Amino acid sequence: MALTTRRRAVSTLAAALAGAVAAPAYAQAAPRTPVGRKPLPLRQAHAHNDYLHPRPLLDALSHGFTSVEADVFLVDGELLVAHEPAALDPTRTLAGLYLDPLLARVRANHGSVYRGCHRPVQLLIDIKTDGVAAYDELHRQLTSYRSMLSAYAHGSVRLGAVTPVISGDRAARVPMEAQRVRYAFYDGRLEDLGTTAPASFVPLISSNWTQSFGWQGVGAFPAAERAELRRIVATAHGRGRRVRFWATPDLAGPERDAVWAELLAAGVDHLNTDDLAGLERFLRTLRP
């Protein structure tokens, strides 16, 4: 879809949805779907705190998402997935919830997470504590799954079916930058836009929406904020990086739809949501 046509479609959709209010669907289990289901056409869907859904990873894939997020804690040498320490469960490991199921799908689909679609699925791994030690263990585990992973080796990138990107505890950056071979990439922040760090290390720029923008979807998007959003995206894209904002409005209704529409019109690469069904519906309306 040409950029002008896409922006027009997004604008039209936002206006049409201005009076629509839908009940959130993220608390309901998604229907089971074949492993070969295609991803969403626009491919911007990112499952924030994906592990809180009834079926981590699987619910997101059943809705066509191409990016999922898992928070991890290093506990007794294992990477456990949870939102906070009180929710830690030794049975909920990164390998069990994400790496093993992804490998099973890649094998079932002959090298892809989605059958016939060779664009990598992003696995955003948010390290909550012990950045250096947690990354060391993560690298050890990822090495066992390297056949399906994107990799950086001796100055070049090879894309695989799954691209791990490391977020959270910034201490993980130091050991990552020192590696000549790694199976993960780094989630940058807005301050990384002006650095010389290459996209082969920082392919993604993530930021808290509320720290840069006051607009929450009510009324018109202020012209100065729209210009700033497009400047951020253009700068990132000019260096080969993708853009994601967290803390965008996520309550179903016209305000959220208006923000999503502006993000798409500006070229933002990932829409952050807890509402899997709501974002799928929004994106499939743009391109069925």
What would the two tokens of residue 285 be? 């309306």
Q: What is the pLDDT of residue 15?
A: 40
Per DSSP, the residues of 89-105 read -TT-BHIIIIIHHHHHH
Alpha helices in the chain (DSSP H): 3-16, 58-62, 94, 100-108, 131-144, 173-178, 209-212, 223-238, 254-266, 276-286
What would the two tokens of residue 23 be? 């009940």
3-state secondary structure of 281: helix
Nearest to 258 by CA among 217, 286, 207: 217
Q: What is the pLDDT of residue 87?
A: 95
Cβ partners under 8 Å of residue 96, min gap 6: none
Residue 234 backbone dihedrals phi, psi, to 5 degrees = -65, -40
Pairwise CA distance, residues 225 & 196, whole Å: 26
Dihedral in degrees, nearest 10, Cα atoms 251, 256, 257, 262: -160
Under a CB-based contact definition with an 8 Å cutoff, are residues 279 and 251 in contact? Answer: no
Under a CB-based contact definition with an 8 Å cutoff, are residues 166 and 135 in contact? Answer: yes
Count how many Cα atoms sit within 13 Å of the Cα of residue 99 in the half-sphere of its side chain. 23
Place of tokens 């209010």: 21
| Single pTM value for the model | 0.87
Burial 61-93 (b: 16+ CB within 10 A, else e): bbbbbbbbbbbbbbbeeebbbbeeeeeeeeeeb
Instruction: Look up the CATH superfamily of 3-286.
Output: Phosphatidylinositol (PI) phosphodiesterase (3.20.20.190)
Q: What is the pLDDT of residue 31?
A: 38
**Rounded mean pLDDT for each run of 10 residues along the chain, 288 residues in total:** 44 37 32 62 94 97 98 97 96 98 97 94 97 97 98 96 97 95 98 93 98 98 98 97 98 98 98 98 89
Q: What is the pLDDT of residue 287?
A: 80
User: Left if phi > 0, otherwise alpha if psi is -120 to 50, otherwise beta: which for 57?
Assistant: left
Pairwise CA distance, residues 59 & 91, whole Å: 19
Q: What is the pLDDT of residue 33?
A: 44
Rg (CA), the chain: 18
Q: What is the pLDDT of residue 35?
A: 53
Q: Where are the domains of the chain?
A: 3-286
